[in-house]
Amino acid sequence: MALASQTYTLHTPRHGPLFAQEWLPEAAPRAIVCLVHGLGEHSSRYAHVAEALTSAGFGLSAFDLRGHGKSPGQRGHFQSYASGLEDIQSLLDEAARRHSEKPTFLYGQSLGGNLVLNLALRRKCRLAGVIATAPLIRLAFEPPRAKVFLAKAVGRIWPAFSNVCGCEAGALCRDPAVVQKYVGDPLAHDLISAGLFVEVSRAGLWALEHAANLRLPTLVMHGSADQLTSVDASRQFAERAGQCCTLKVWDGAYHELHNEPEKEAVFAYMLAWLNTRMASSALRG
């Protein structure tokens, strides 16, 4: 039986309510991990990640990005990139309110990885650490120049104009059952607006250019066979970020490490990193 979540409405100061949920261990959580999912998906796809975390005493708090899952908004569109960062800050604030300032980690997958790295670089965050898996720093492929030119041109005058991503579902992971479930998921979509595409692309390059300014302990994980987001960009980010960034590349893995056949090893590695950070925090304070 899957671990049940507690759902709630995440109220944001300027942009309206969002669907949110959290999974908690039986005892009081040692720390809270706040999750930001990827483009076109939603937080309920991470229930098995929550099981791995709660079994080790961590809580998982998550929300559906605006324009995704059960949250309102045009599918695949943010009002602005900054509004996406503000929504994540609202999740962090709510987690702090609910759990009496327990240590908090921020975890982002793909588009979520782009967002959490940018939040860590652009804002002073009270975080115990950051995890970014398959972060969308750059795409793993060169999109057609005409399509990029069109997105930039349209994005200036009609940022909400949407188009299909055109990404193959089979590139998500090597587990056919997960792929088929995603394809049949009524809450999943394959849309991105011109404005979001342009802003996310710029933000990924900005994060790469400013990686040396990273001050928070950060774990970056990527599959070496990821066909969607660039593992080389993750390598470059980690090299520029220096000692505060740990890089783990999983040989032969695709985009969604948490859904790959070796996911249990991925969870074990992530939990070991989280436990190390918790021990370091205890020693300091």
Q: Residue 159 corresponds to which tokens in the numbers above?
A: 């940022």
Instruction: List the Cα angle 46/61/209 in 5-degree steps.
Output: 85
Those residues with Cβ within 8 angstroms of residue 266's Cβ, 6 or more apart along the chain or in another chain: 221, 250, 257, 258, 260
Cα dist. 151→73, 92, 147, 161, 194 in Å?
20, 32, 6, 9, 5
Helix (H), strand (E) at residue 246: strand 245-250
68 is catalytic: no
Residue 185 annotated to the active site: no
Q: Catalytic residue among 15, 37, 255, 258, which? A: 255
CA distances from 266 to 34, 130, 201, 227, 236 (A): 18, 16, 27, 19, 21
Report the distance separating Cα 152 and Cα 150, nearest Å.
Answer: 5
Kind and range of the H or E element at 116? Answer: helix 111-122
DSSP 79: S
The three-point CA angle 232-75-138 to 5° equals 10
Cα–Cα dist 40/201, whole Å: 16
31, 43, 65, 182, 269 from 187: Cα distances, Å: 29, 10, 12, 9, 30
Catalytic residue among 44, 90, 110, 162: 110
Q: Which of 234, 143, 253 is nearest to 192 (CA)?
A: 143
Task: Fill in the amino acid letter for 175.
Answer: D
Catalytic residue list contains 226: yes
Q: What sign does the dihedral 78-83-88-92 (CA atoms) show?
A: negative
- Catalytic hit among 189, 226, 230, 258: 226
Residues noted as catalytic: 110, 226, 255
